Amino acid sequence: MRKLALSDEILLRVEKPARYIGGEINMVKKDPKEVEIRFCMCFPDVYEIGMSHLGIQILYDMFNLREDTYCERVYSPWMDLDRIMREERIPLFALESQDPVKSFDFLGITLQYEMCYTNILQILDLSGIPLKASERTPEDPFVIGGGPCTYNPEPIADFFDIFYIGEGETVYGDLLDAYKAWKKTGGTRNGFLKQAAKIPGCYVPQFYEVRYHEDGTLSEFFPVVEEAPERVFKQVQRDMSETYYPEKPLVPYIKVTQDRVVLEIQRGCIRGCRFCQAGMLYRPVRPRSLSFLKPRATAMIEATGHEEITLSSLSSSDYLELDKLVYWLIDEFQERGVNISLPSLRIDAFALDVMSKVQDVRKSSLTFAPEAGSQRMRNVINKGLSEEEILKGAMDAFLGGWNRVKLYFMLGLPGETDEDIEAIAVLSDKIAREYYTIPKEERHGKVNIVTSTSIFVPKPFTPFQWAPMVSREYAEEKREFLLGKVKAQLNGKSIKYNCHDADVSELEGVFARGDRKLCNVILQAYKEGCMYDAWGEFFLYDVWKKAFAENGIDMDFYLKRERREDELFPWDFIDIGVTKKFLLREYQRSKEAVVTPNCREGCSGCGAAAFQCGVCVGPEREKEER
């Protein structure tokens, strides 16, 4: 029987003890003494969010298939346990073995969003691992970062030994094999990092030097050892139907954010929305075959007992075999009482037919994401959605029995005017008006429109990486402006307006396009109490402002200026396939509100064809030279 790292007395003092005891259904059990590599996988947020992350489930399964490796997990302790661990000097531990994280060979941290950066330092600090990679000894694990934020790793470069750029199914095996070989030689820590730097997709930040112009922009970024390449190439899993996928996902004993089976039907997106980082990072779109998906859906339902399966994709409607898959799932699982969830779905006749069959959705709502209120702004961001399509989808939903609709928009998009913002209120009202064209006796009560806005944050590797971000003052002013316009609509009482916090968005904007000068800001903010910055009740805006000021960093430098076309970006050494030339062309087209067709309508020459997979290959596609 495992000995728990926390005593019963401590477990009774914390909010949810099940976050820390492990032992979940399908948890992998190995003897740590009988493996050569111990890898601790970390999600730097609370357990309920981390347990819902598909990427960790995939890597956990993939690593544990190796007989020489034992992969375990750790999540950020919640604030109550964090305090106790510091007071009583309890080292952070992995859930499976309950052994200290510091005793592992690797600590792999997934970086899903910028607002988790201080939690990374919490994990290292509680583990007893030096916060800066330059201060680590042979006794410390190698700290690896992976996930979407590694596509600009510079604001946290000081804290990581290695960043893994790309999809985990590709070269992690090579990295683990290199570690085994190095371990047998008894080499130095630096020696292994040099071996890692030679593996495609592995970036070792301490092997690169950064220089700046007097205005604060980058002048040079270059490797300082021969093993480190000038450019780091994103690693892509080319065939999504010949790869790893967990058939026995972990099942927690407490409710988590996504308490269901997740079936990833494809990776990537054909749409090319200019604000969307994921749509560029994960190009080209690569679907999974039905022969791959069907047996895994069955296996996961049987191995977990979950009562819901969600089809995961950036744009589910663009999966060409969606109807065949969904109707098979209905036939296979409906008698078992399994709901089928289809996020990222365009609302059309097929979607409504499916939802009416598989879910009790009449008690909930349907979601639309127009992103912008006016057609001009939707063209600017390349959303590819007309007002006619939005209104038709809403009317189809109303005729199908729904009367609650959620709408998602962004404030602060490049080139936005007051008329574009007012158009959000007008479109919300138009949707409500559609409902009231239905005869009264056929309606299902009053219509309920929930309109939400988030503050647009420009991200690396998007056409808007050159664009300025609006100030928090602007965001707050326009939020009040939009609220007034919503109230002024004919159906204003039927429209509820919500807006994302501007302070958090501002910090996210700094980190998204930041450089190495931000490492000391993050370190100071952490030492002065910043953690769980994405959680409103813990966000300490004044502490962050102080940290920026005392480190001589002007937030506006990263936020408010439009970048020069030829500016060297902190992330330019990473090659994601999609070229900077293409992104700049798309930025210029956005200023002219010109729409670029999606990948299936015609190749726009983005550069992703270099990967020779997915939608980019076939007789109808010309192979583009990189």
Give the tens place of pLDDT for each residue, 424-436.
Answer: 999 999 999 999 9
- Separate counts of helices (H) and strands (E) for the chain: 20, 19
User: How far is 267 from 111, CA to CA, in rounded Å?
Assistant: 18
Q: How confident is the model at residue 620 (pLDDT cuts 50, 70, 90)?
A: very low
Q: Quick one: average pLDDT of 475-501?
A: 95
pTM above 0.85, yes or no: yes
User: How far is 391 from 394, CA to CA, in rounded Å?
Assistant: 5
Express each pLDDT in 323-380 by its tens digit. Answer: 999 999 999 998 888 888 887 777 777 777 777 776 554 446 788 899 999 999 999 9
User: How far is 590 from 62, CA to CA, in rounded Å?
Assistant: 41
Q: What is the pLDDT of residue 243?
A: 96
The residue count of the chain comes to 626
Nearest in space to 231 (alpha carbons), one of 165, 172, 179, 174: 165
User: Residue 250: which residues within 8 A CB-CB, separation 6 or more?
Assistant: 24, 25, 26, 27, 51, 57, 60
Give me the phi and psi of 600, to 5 degrees please.
Answer: -85, -20
Q: What is the pLDDT of residue 162?
A: 98
Distances from the Cα of 344 to the Cαs of 100, 162, 316, 317, 532, in angstroms? Answer: 40, 33, 5, 7, 27
* Tokens linked to 15: 């909010």
Tell me, rounded to whole angstroms, the distance of Cα 35 from its chain centroid: 32
Q: What is the pLDDT of residue 552?
A: 97
Q: Quick one: average pLDDT of 491-520?
A: 95
Q: What CATH class is the domain 8-233?
A: alpha beta
User: Residue 444: which residues within 8 A CB-CB, separation 6 or more?
Assistant: 362, 401, 402, 403
Distances from the Cα of 281 to the Cαs of 154, 419, 565, 574, 584, in angstroms? Answer: 17, 32, 20, 11, 16
Q: What is the CA radius of gyration of the chain?
A: 25
User: How far is 437 from 435, CA to CA, in rounded Å?
Assistant: 5
Does the pLDDT value for residue 401 go beyond 90?
no
User: How far is 564 from 160, CA to CA, in rounded Å?
Assistant: 30
Express each pLDDT in 105-147 by its tens digit. Answer: 999 999 999 999 999 999 999 999 999 999 999 999 999 999 9
User: Residue 267: which residues within 8 A CB-CB, separation 6 or more?
Assistant: 167, 237, 240, 282, 285, 286, 313
DSSP output for 358-400? H--GGGS-EEEEEESSSHHHHHHTT----HHHHHHHHHHHHHT
* Residue 255 DSSP code: -
Give me the phi and psi of 194, to 5 degrees please.
Answer: -70, -35
Express each pLDDT in 544-554 by its tens digit. Answer: 999 999 999 99
Phi-psi region of 137 (alpha: psi -120 to 50; beta: other; left: phi over 0): beta
Does the pLDDT value for residue 224 go beyond 80?
yes
Give strand pairing partners of 146: 110
User: How far is 194 from 159, CA to CA, in rounded Å?
Assistant: 17
User: How far is 89 from 82, CA to CA, in rounded Å?
Assistant: 10
Q: Which of 207-216, 220-229, 478-487, 496-505 has the weakest average pLDDT?
A: 496-505
Peptide bond into 284 cis (omega under 30): yes
> Under a CB-based contact definition with an 8 Å cutoff, are residues 106 and 175 in contact?
no
Average pLDDT, the chain: 94
Express each pLDDT in 560-603 by its tens digit. Answer: 999 999 999 999 999 999 999 999 999 999 999 999 999 999 99
> Under a CB-based contact definition with an 8 Å cutoff, are residues 372 and 380 in contact?
yes
Q: What is the pLDDT of residue 606?
A: 97
Express each pLDDT in 1-32 by its tens digit. Answer: 689 999 999 999 999 999 999 999 999 999 99
User: How far is 165 from 149, CA to CA, in rounded Å?
Assistant: 10
Where do we find the tokens 């056409």?
Answer: 463
Q: What is the pLDDT of residue 90?
A: 98
Q: Which of 71-80, 384-393, 503-512 has the weakest average pLDDT?
A: 384-393
User: How far is 375 from 552, CA to CA, in rounded Å?
Assistant: 42
Where do we find the tokens 């859930």?
Answer: 95
Does the pLDDT value for residue 245 go beyond 60?
yes
Q: What is the pLDDT of residue 362?
A: 43
> Under a CB-based contact definition with an 8 Å cutoff, are residues 19 and 78 in contact?
yes
Q: What is the pLDDT of residue 340?
A: 85
For residue 203, the SS3 value is strand
* Tokens linked to 69: 């490796």
Buried b / exposed e along 430-442 (16+ C-beta atoms within 10 A): bbbbbbeeeeeee
User: How far is 230 from 221, CA to CA, in rounded Å?
Assistant: 9
Determine how β-strand 218-223 pairs with β-strand 208-212: antiparallel
Question: Residue 591: how many CB atoms within 10 A of its CB?
Answer: 12
Distances from the Cα of 475 to the Cαs of 302, 421, 451, 512, in angstroms? Answer: 48, 11, 16, 18
DSSP output for 129-181? --SSGGG--TTSPEEEEESGGGGS-GGGGGG-SEEE-B-TTTTHHHHHHHHHH
The alpha carbon dihedral of 146, 152, 156, 159 has a sign of: positive
Alpha-helical segments (H) within 13-131:
47-50, 54-64, 79-88, 117-127
* Tokens linked to 135: 């201060």
